[in-house]
Amino acid sequence: MGIDGILNIFKPKGMSSFRVVYEIKKILKVKKVGHTGTLDPNASGILLICLGQATKIARFITDFKKYYQGEMILGITTDSQDSEGRITGKKDVNGSIDREKIKYVFRKYTGVVQQTPPMYSAIYHNGKRLYKLARKGIEVKRNLKTINIYQLSLLRYIPSKNPVIQFEVICSKGTYVRTLCDDIGKDLGCGAYMSGLTRTKVGSYDISESIRLEELENNIELAQEKLIKIDEILSHFGQITIKHELEDRVLNGAFISREDFLCFPESEKISNCKMVKVKNEHGKILSIAERTEDARKNIIFKPVRVFQYDK
């Protein structure tokens, strides 16, 4: 099946992101498939899957804001920071936590914050995945990562021996929500682990529009019906149209100057855009290019991705 675009897929709990990619390849018989941001196996929710030429734009999609609804249990910590790990500590909460204290700590974790990636993660250390080292009981020093928590909201607080916090978080790429739960637990003075997580939205794409793998398997036509075009998902990029005679040159990765534009007025519309979609006269995307300038202050676009479609 020749298909170029993005599918909004629902990843069930217990399945890895890699497995979802494998299943999509098998169902649709597509060679080039990739995801746009790993979702932990014990989490569920939206996974944007790139097909065909769309695999070339995955890095632009990973920058989209991520929306999650999660749950954490107070008074218990685990080595993986979630329900899959070994319990490493227990502490009586004894009614010392209330909604106001939680909201106060939540405010501390809103904005630009630094986070230490967990040992149970896929990050490489000297050529080895951290989680493989963690399984052997090895812990290594990890560099701090800067992330952005755009919003962190308390949805529900359930008091008990081990109170439950249900929350919503909107964050940047690279955020470990289970580490966020662990850090919040430390600040609350009782410890915590993430007991559940669902990614509900990526950018403007919502979980309510997600396709389940079994639905796709039963009706592969859904792939075409629900396909998100490259043009649509990069609608926030600028756009230029080049002259017909330059099309082959663009497909070979050539730089594009304002003299190459089909209509000069278009250059005014995109003068402040960092990234643009380069199209031919028929509206087909030929490449993604980055804005730069030469010594004469001419607007020039440097190609960063070139598309080669099936004939």
3-state secondary structure of 114: strand
Among 190, 196, 160, 245, residue whose Cα is nearest residue 82: 196
| Whether the predicted pLDDT of 120 surpasses 60 | yes
Neighbours of 241 (CB within 10 A): 18
66-202 shares its CATH topology with 237-306 = no
**Per-residue pLDDT reduced to its tens digit, 63-72:** 899 999 999 9
Query: Is 206 among the residues known to form the active site?
Result: no
Q: What is the mean pLDDT of residues 249-276?
A: 71
The CATH architecture one would assign to domain 5-63+206-230 is 2-Layer Sandwich (3.30)
Residue at 233: amino acid letter? I
* Residues 293, 129: Cα–Cα separation, whole Å: 40
Q: Spell out the CATH class of 237-306.
A: mainly beta
**Per-residue pLDDT reduced to its tens digit, 213-261:** 999 999 999 999 999 999 999 988 888 888 888 888 888 888 888 777 7
Fold assignment, 66-202: Pseudouridine synthase (3.30.2350)
Task: Pick the catalytic residue from 40, 82, 183, 260.
Answer: 40
Domain coordinates in residue numbering, the chain: 5-63+206-230, 66-202, 237-306
Alpha helices by DSSP H, the chain = 17-28, 58-61, 99-108, 130-135, 177-188, 213-218, 222-225, 230-233, 247-251, 265-269
